[in-house]
Chains A and B, each alone.
Chain A
Amino acid sequence: MSRERAPSSGAPGLAPRAWFIWSVAAVTVALSTDNPIYRGLVALAALNVLLTWLPPGRRVRPLGLVLLFAAGIAALINLLAGHTGADVIARLPGDWPLVGGALTLESLVFGGVLGLGLAAALLAVAPLSLVLEPHDVVDAMPGPLERTGIAVATSLNLVSGFGRTFTEVGDAQRMRGWKPRGLRSWNEVLVPVVLTAIEDSVMLAESMEARGFGAGRRTSYARATLRRRDVAVAASAAGAAVLFVGLRLAGVAVDWYPYPTLYLPPINPVLVAGCLALALPSLARPAAPVPARRGP
């Protein structure tokens, strides 16, 4: 007799499809407004969700460093290239290409807000790699995007190998007399690491082909079932996204533009509620570990 058993999941308690909808909605909200209040709320909600669901043994610090770096770069680029705004904080020689001219407080702040949006978006998709298993990512995708999900899943699998190769190559080169001296010296570690990553990717592609991956109809091992908790998370997140996009289309101000002079961003209680709705997965976390999802 045929039996169907639900596969084990790294994130018991919330269906992969619900995670996918939540992530897409949170990214939509973060990128549909320039208002730093809303962006900050989305980032906080996403961070809270991530920390609530983070499985033991997975670290969030590397992501934090990436976020800080990305946000810092965004602020710096806008500061150096913006040259707009009333409050000048410094001037670079005018004959310097691109960066020459006035550096303004408004450009710096707006760059920071751009970085905040980027950070919020990255935090919104972080659960797909840090909370879900690779197969959950595939299960989360709608049918037409399933192959995209597999590409994402396999990329995530290669990340751990990348780190291991970096350690191995660094060790081996150090023992051959290599010492880190400036950026160029890192070529001796980074070049072989990148080459190895490419070789590993080709190897993985071969393995996937050899097991029939490619064009044609696929079936899925796991049954996609949404329970009430999943529906609540997906619906609230989708509602928030629809709210932001709808109000923008209706001409209601959801943005903030700090030029020519800074001013406090407006706050709309309905939009704040929409942002807070994105924190719902934090409340959906079971108090104790629950068994893996089971099929009929």
Chain B
Amino acid sequence: MSESLARFDGITYRYPGAASPSLAGLDLEIEPGLTLVVGGSGGGKSTLLRLLNGLVPQFHGGRISGSARVDGLDPMRTPIRRLALSIGLVFQDVETQSVYGTVEREVAFGLENAAVPRAQMHDRVDEVLAGLSIGHLRGRRLTTLSGGERQRVQLAAVLALRPRIVALDEPTSQLDPEGAEAVLAACRGLARDGRAVVVAEHRLETLLPAADRVLLVEGGRVSPTTREALRGSATTRPRRSAVTAEIAWEMRDLAAGPAGPRAPAVLQGVSLAGVAGEVVALTGPNGSGKTTLLRTLAGLLPPTAGTVRRPDGRTAYLPQNPGALLHLPTVRAEVELTLRRTGARGSADAMLAAFGLAGLHDRYPRNLSSGERQRAALAATLAGSPSLVLLDEPTRGMDAAARRSLVAAVRSLTEGGSAVVLATHDTELATELADRTISLGDGRAVEVATAATPAVTPAATSAATAPDAPR
């Protein structure tokens, strides 16, 4: 039997002011190898990871009972500074966890805190950058990196301290498929090296086959589960939307950049169109212009060149960080605000129910888990039958239940005649929902063929991709 690197006995933890515990009766041993932590939003996955390195309860406060040992240390009493040498934690949002501005210094930050001698620091930075195959990024500014590169830099920053346990909280939720694969390959490599790697993740397709064990966290309860049980919840076959012949939106010879006409354009000569009742998925690596295209189509960003046409009626737009827009005291108030402001007919209750928020309607949105908050933002954004719906990475941080709500809501909208354009790295979502998939890259847009959505135009088509009629 493998050596246990962490052990929890009867742990029950409650955040300050929380009505119910976030972890209840936790009995768990963590051994070397890859441990996959799955479960719905708000179930306690992030709390479990924070318990490993002492942030719970030392940083967050609250009440805890039971006993724990992590690499021989008591995580409830050992200073987090000391625990950082044994357990490294990489957080979900790469943009809010950077201290310095460059790769090299960011990786060295933990070593400085651990008072590692300067000469050793340089060796360790070299070693960890090489180990993750990102040595070429050494002198780069973090803001110039893709999401996958940044996530690997954050992983390098904790690995530089040579921890025996590495925990990652939804490391691929914001990454394109290539970036996600690179991060997950690094996780698999660490597990092979004898470390305990604990990954909380919703995107299971790549990690599940490599996992040595799988933990299901729901309602604060942690229990082992099997890969087979999770495979049973595989996505359903795509169902086509109610596509009509009416052109709903169109852009011709579009040039646009993220900062408007002042900055270089990331889209050049793009011509696209979509019809009512159709779902168009935009894919492409980080920085390829997906958000720029959506914002231009929404009318939020003036194009540098070309024209944009939108349908009559309301355009709904969900930004990448939708939780940021929530500010009212309850989830219901957020939905009602949109209905009132847009003069739309519709029921707040129906929207709340559609996104599984009926039981959370009177909760303060900012106190919800990231997945629940995402659903609240979706309900607030999509309320009131918009004629054009623009979604920027709508499944970021979403669990399976929330994804199902999203898919159902989008289908309901398209059946009502809405045109939907969604930018996503989530290939499963694109396959499940999209009538057409447009790949962006090098400033151009190319329609791609997938198993579910054969291309209307040849895959090698030029920038112009405008369907004249539905399929």
Contacts and interface: CB of A to CB of B under 8 A. Distances in A.
Given A135-B100, A150-B99, A218-B115, A212 B110 contact: yes
A227 interface: no
Interface string A1-15: 011110110100000
Interface string B303-344: 000000000000111111111111100000000011001110
Given A211-B158, A221-B121, A153 B99 contact: yes
Which of A171, A205, A221 is most buried by chain B, counting CB atoms within 10 A of its CB?
Answer: A221
Interface residues of A, number: 58
Contacts of A174: 300
B100 A134 contact: yes
A2 B123 contact: yes
Contact of A3 (B89, B119, B300): B119
A253 to B, nearest CB: 45
A209 B161 contact: no
A176 B338 contact: yes
A8 B104 contact: yes
Contact of A175 (B53, B84, B317, B326): B317
Contacts of B161: 211-212
Given A134-B100, A134-B101, A210 B88 contact: yes
A286 interface: no
Interface residues of B, number: 71
Contacts of A199: 366
A213 B81 contact: yes
A213 B157 CA distance: 13
A203 B324 contact: no
Interface string B108-142: 11111111111111110110000000000001000
Chain B interface helix/strand/loop/mixed: helix
Nearest to A168: B319
A223 B119 CA distance: 10
Given A175-B316, A207-B91, A191 B99 contact: no
Contact of A176 (B88, B337, B366): B337
A195 B161 CA distance: 32
Contact of B81 (A3, A138, A216, A221): A216
A211 B157 contact: yes
A205 B121 CA distance: 23
A105 B321 CA distance: 51
Contacts of B80: 209-210, 212, 214
Which of A187, A205, A208 is most buried by chain B, counting CB atoms within 10 A of its CB?
Answer: A208
A157 B96 CA distance: 9
A188 B327 CA distance: 7
Interface string A64-76: 0000000000000
A207 B90 CA distance: 8
B97 interface: yes
A212 B118 contact: no
B288 to A, nearest CB: 18
A180 interface: no
Interface in A150-189: 150, 153-154, 157, 160-161, 165, 168-169, 171-178, 187-188
Contacts of A260: none
Given A204-B99, A213-B81, A172 B88 contact: no
Nearest to A204: B96
Contacts of B337: 176
A229 B111 CA distance: 30
B111 A172 contact: no
A221 B99 contact: no
A32 interface: no
A45 B324 CA distance: 41
Interface in A195-240: 195-196, 199-200, 203-221, 223
Contacts of A213: 81, 99, 109, 113
B381 interface: yes
Contact of A171 (B105, B111, B295): B295
Given A176-B338, A207-B91, A4 B319 contact: no
Nearest to A215: B81
A288 B321 CA distance: 41
A133 interface: yes
Given A172-B325, A192-B326, A208 B119 contact: no
Contacts of B322: 172
Contacts of B85: 212
Interface string B374-405: 00000011000000000000000000000000
Contacts of A150: 99
Nearest to B99: A154
Contacts of B320: 168
Contact of B321 (A165, A173, A178): A165
B449 interface: no
B327 A192 contact: yes
Interface in B381-431: 381
A193 interface: yes
Given A8-B104, A210-B158, 12 more contacts: A5-B122, A135-B100, A153-B99, A157-B101, A168-B320, A171-B317, A171-B319, A196-B324, A208-B99, A211-B113, A214-B113, A217-B115
A-B pairs with lowest CB-CB distance, top 8? A177-B341, A207-B97, A212-B113, A2-B119, A211-B110, A212-B84, A175-B317, A135-B105
Interface of B: 50, 53, 55, 59, 79-82, 84-85, 88-89, 91, 93, 95-102, 104-105, 108-123, 125-126, 139, 143, 157-158, 161, 295, 298, 300, 315-327, 337-338, 341-343, 366, 380-381
17 contacts: A8-B102, A172-B317, A175-B298, A175-B300, A176-B341, A192-B324, A203-B93, A206-B59, A210-B89, A211-B88, A211-B99, A211-B109, A211-B113, A213-B81, A219-B111, A221-B111, A221-B122
